[in-house]
A and B are shown apart, each in its own frame.
Chain A
Amino acid sequence: MTAKLVVQGLSHHYPDEYTGVSVHALDDINLEVNDGEFVAIVGPSGCGKTTLLNILAGLLRYREGNATVDGKKIDGPGPDRGVVFQEHAILPWRTVAGNIGHGLELQKIPRQERQDRVAEYIELVGLVGFEDRYPHELSGGMKQRCAVARTLCADPEIMLMDEPFAAVDAQTRITLQEELIRIAIATKKTILFITHAVDEAAFLGDRCFVFSRRPGRLRETVHINIPRAERNWGDIAANPEFVRARDRILALVREEVIADDR
C-alpha cells in the first residue's frame, strides 16, 4: 500500500478570537493515510481535529511541519481534496443537481458529461426525483446526502469529512453511515472522517486515530479489522472486533475527557 496523505511534524498555533492569546492547537502530528483507506479521527472537543482538517483542506495556512498529498505539499485549497462540512454547506441558491455538479462546472467540464455524472451521483446517494429541488425543501439527511454527492462528483483524490452527520437525527445518521460504507466500497476513495462519536468511528474506520486534548497529539492508532461488506448496524454490534475497537477508543477518549475536567 502506498501512502496517499502524509503529515510530518505538524504543529499549529493561532491567536484566540477574543483574547488574542496564542492557542496551541496541534502538536507534532505525524500520520499517514493509505490509498483507498478509510480513517476516522476521534478526540475530545477542542482537540484540534477541525484545525487539522482545515489545514489539509488548504483553508488554513501552516508553518511548522509538512503535509503532502501524493508527495505534493499542500498549499491552498484544491479539487484533489474534497471537503464535506459539518453544517449544511450546500448553496441554498442552487438546486440539488446544481450543487452536485458545481465542482464539475468549476472544472469547466462540458455540459453533457456533467449532466451524466451528476445523474450518476444522484442515483448513488438516493436523491432521484429531487434534482430540481432547492436545499430548503430537503430534510437534514437529504441535505447531507447532497453534500456528500457534491464532494464525490468533483472526483477528489481524498475526501475530508468534518463531523458530517453530527447535525442529523439518530435514525438518519445510522442510514447515512451505512450508505457511506456502500459509497466507500463503490468509489474506493481515500476518506478521512472526523467525528466525536466513538461508535461512528469504530463502525466506519479501517483505522482510527485517537487525539489527545489540546494541544492535539496523535495518542494512539486503533486498527479495526472488519471487512467493509460486514459493516452494517444489524450485525456489527455482535462482532467481537467491533466491540474491542470501540471499547478501546472509548477508554482512550474517556481518559482524555476526565483528565481535562480535573
Chain B
Amino acid sequence: MNALTKFSLLVQGRFGRKRLRRIGLGSIPFIFLLTLWQMNTTFEWLAPVFIPSIGGVIDAIFILQSDCGGVWDILSLDNTCLMTTHILSSIGRVLLAAVIGIPLGIIFGILAGMNRLISTVLEPVGVFANSISGIAWVPLAIVWFGVGWMTTLFIMLNTVFWLMFFNAMLGTRGIAKVYEQSVLTLGGSRWNIFIQVYLPGAMPSIITGMRMSLGFGWRALIAAEMIGGDSGLGFMIFTAAEEFNVEQVFLGVIVISIIYLATDHYLLGPLEKWTIHRWGLTWKPT
C-alpha cells in the first residue's frame, strides 16, 4: 500500500465516504470560480482595479491587521486590528438581534397560531412590515437613532422578528389537533401545551424561520452598516469602495459568505439534527 492510498483511506475513515462525496461535489463550483479568478490575473483579462488578484485579497487581511498587538487588542475591538474589529462587531450585532428577535418572534408567532384573536390583530401589521424591505427603514432609523448600533439593531429586528413570527405561526397551525387534545386529557394546562406541544411541533417551521432570518438579517445588516453604521463588514466594504480599494471589498464579501456558511453549518445544522431529525419530523437524506 503506498502512502497516497493509506492517506486517502485515513481521510475516508475520518469523514465518511458519503460526506466526502458531498463536500467534493459541493465544492466544484467554488473551485471553478477560483480557477477563473486566477486565470483572470494570469492572462490579465480585466485590470486589477476591477478584479484584484487572490494574493492581493489575502494581503489585504495583513494590511488591515498590521498594527494589531495581539489577542487582547482583537477582543477589545481596537482600531489597529481593523479586520477582526469589523468582523466581530458585525457578528455581535447579528447575535444581539438574534437573541432578542428570535425568542420574541417565536413566542408571538406561537400565540398567534394558537389564538385567532391574536393572529387577527398581528397579521396585518406583519404583512405591512414585511412588505417594506429592511433597507427602506435605514433613512428613518438614522433620523431616529443616529449612525451606530441602534440603527442596525432596529433594521435587523424588523427583519428577524417578523420572519420568526410568520414561520412560528404557520408551524403552530399545522400541528395536528390530536396532540393538544391528548395532553389536555392527561391533565395538561395551556402552559404545558405551549411548551410541550406547540414549541416542539412548530420546530420544523421555526428552524426554517431561523435560517431565513439569519440570511435576510445578514443582508439587512450589511446594507444598514453601509449607510447607517460606523463599523462592521458593511461599513468596511463601503469605505473601501470609496477609496477604490477593491481588495478589501472582495475580502469583505468573501468573509460575509464564509461566516454565514459557518453559522448555517455549525449552529442550525446541529439544532436540526437534535430536534426535527431525531423526532422524525422531516425527510432524511438516505
**Contacts A87-B176, A87-B178, A106-B192 known; A93 to B185 CB distance under 8 Å?**
no
**Contact between B192 and A134 (Cβ–Cβ < 8 Å)?**
no
**Contact between A81 and B280 (Cβ–Cβ < 8 Å)?**
no
Report A-chain residues with C-beta under 8 Å of the C-beta of B197: 91
**Contact between B185 and A57 (Cβ–Cβ < 8 Å)?**
yes
> Is A46 an interface residue, CB under 8 A from the partner?
no
A79→B203 CA distance, assembly (Å): 28
B196 nearest in chain A by CB position: A91
A87→B188 CA distance, assembly (Å): 20
**Contact between B187 and A78 (Cβ–Cβ < 8 Å)?**
yes
> Is A103 an interface residue, CB under 8 A from the partner?
yes
> Is B275 an interface residue, CB under 8 A from the partner?
yes
**Contact between B279 and A134 (Cβ–Cβ < 8 Å)?**
yes
Report A-chain residues with C-beta under 8 Å of the C-beta of B178: 85-87, 89
Residues 38-70 of chain A, each 1 if its beta carbon lies under 8 Å from chain B, else 0: 000000000000000000011100000000000
**Contacts A93-B200, A106-B192 known; A83 to B280 CB distance under 8 Å?**
no
> Is A116 an interface residue, CB under 8 A from the partner?
no
**Contacts A87-B176, A91-B197 known; A77 to B275 CB distance under 8 Å?**
no
A134→B185 CA distance, assembly (Å): 21
A103→B181 CA distance, assembly (Å): 13
Among A83, A87, A91, A107, the residue within 8 A (CB) of B185 is: A83
**Contacts A79-B186, A106-B186 known; A89 to B179 CB distance under 8 Å?**
yes
A54 nearest in chain B by CB position: B181
Report B-chain residues with C-beta under 8 Å of the C-beta of A151: 186
> Is B171 an interface residue, CB under 8 A from the partner?
no
> Is A126 an interface residue, CB under 8 A from the partner?
no
**Contact between B187 and A59 (Cβ–Cβ < 8 Å)?**
no
A86→B176 CA distance, assembly (Å): 12
A91→B178 CA distance, assembly (Å): 10
**Contacts A91-B196, A134-B279, A136-B280 known; A106 to B188 CB distance under 8 Å?**
yes
Residues 236-280 of chain B, each 1 if its beta carbon lies under 8 Å from chain A, else 0: 000000000000000000000000000000000000000100111
> Is A164 an interface residue, CB under 8 A from the partner?
no
B199 nearest in chain A by CB position: A93
**Contact between A135 and B179 (Cβ–Cβ < 8 Å)?**
no
Among B181, B187, B279, B281, the residue within 8 A (CB) of A89 is: B181
> Is A82 an interface residue, CB under 8 A from the partner?
yes
Residues 81-119 of chain A, each 1 if its beta carbon lies under 8 Å from chain B, else 0: 111011101111100000000110011000000000000
> Is A137 an interface residue, CB under 8 A from the partner?
yes
Query: Which residues of B (91-148) have their CB < 8 Å from a CB of A?
Result: none
> Is A154 an interface residue, CB under 8 A from the partner?
yes
**Contact between B275 and A89 (Cβ–Cβ < 8 Å)?**
no
Residues 33-77 of chain B, each 1 if its beta carbon lies under 8 Å from chain A, else 0: 000000000000000000000000000000000000000000000
Among A77, A81, A89, A134, the residue within 8 A (CB) of B278 is: A134
User: Shortest beta-carbon distance, B202 to chain A, in Å?
Assistant: 11
**Contact between A82 and B185 (Cβ–Cβ < 8 Å)?**
yes
Listed from nearest, the 7 A-B pairs whose CB atoms lie closest are A136-B280, A79-B187, A93-B200, A103-B186, A89-B182, A89-B178, A77-B184
Please give 4 more A-B residue pairs, beta carbons under 8 A apart, in addition to A58-B184, A92-B281, A106-B186: A83-B182, A85-B182, A90-B182, A151-B186
